[in-house]
Amino acid sequence: MKQYVVDAFAEKLFEGNPAAVCVLERYPNDELLQQIANENSLSETAFAVKEGEEYHLRWFTPGGEIDLCGHATLATAYVLMNYLETAKTEVHFNTQSGKLIVRKKGELYEMDFPSYAIKPVSVTDEMEQAIGLRPMEAWLGRDLVCVLESEEQVIKAQPDLEKVVRLDGLLLNITAKGTQYDCVSRTFAPKCNVTEDPVCGSGHCNIIPFWANKLNKTELVARQASRRGGTLYCHMEGSHIFLSGKAVLYSIAELNL
């Protein structure tokens, strides 16, 4: 089994979010898929199987299968369009979250994703204790989005992950208005056995609806302010979010399976 590792939402190697990608003739049992994800110990390993002109795509974290992953989708499209089907400039994926489309536009890979409906929720003492700072606002969709006062607070935050696990939502996203970018964010995923996701595409399906409404903009440039960092070019259109980013190949390996 061949496996690619791609840095997604990255301008250069060792930036963005690394994802492993395996393109298979058929799916093996789920236990093996989970073991591969555990062995990789990356935030996501993507498994794709061709179905006609489309691909069925699944994503596994070390904590289990998830319903949506942006950076691993971008990474899979990058592998397909650069190594396996080089004539393609558009790839269609069938997933747990419905059909996803990735289009190559110059150096960018644009993903058509559904946005999550988010609703305001009360800021709680539990949120403050988990983050180490009291959010100004809190919103809940699939994930919890906590809005902080400044970019500096987002960058310097050191959440208590044992307390983050007890908060609502699959992921914890902390965010603030940016100085060089429209918004900056960080994403923590202890429920998926991932400490901090370096760049989270699906998290921005919660974050961008908030900032698009707050800033009254449909075009936003977002920066994930993790140690690795990564940039997402975002466009809101109705219930869809178009997330674009660059990608860089790190490795190609043969799994001894």
Report, as residue numbers or ranges, the catalytic residues: 44
Q: What is the largest CA-CA distance in the chain?
A: 53
Strands 183-189 and 194-197: antiparallel
Asked whether 180 and 29 are in contact (CB, 8 A), the reply is: no
Q: What residues form DSSP beta bridges with 165?
A: none
d(CA 136, CA 159): 16
Query: φ, ψ for residue 177 (rounded to 5)?
Result: -65, 140
Asked whether 166 and 36 are in contact (CB, 8 A), the reply is: no
CA 36, 110, 234, 12 torsion-angle sign: positive
d(CA 143, CA 209): 12
225 contact partners, CB below 8 Å, separation of at least 6? 151, 154, 155, 184, 185, 186
Asked whether 230 and 19 are in contact (CB, 8 A), the reply is: no
d(CA 211, CA 178): 11
187 contact partners, CB below 8 Å, separation of at least 6? 143, 171, 172, 173, 196, 197, 200, 203, 224, 226
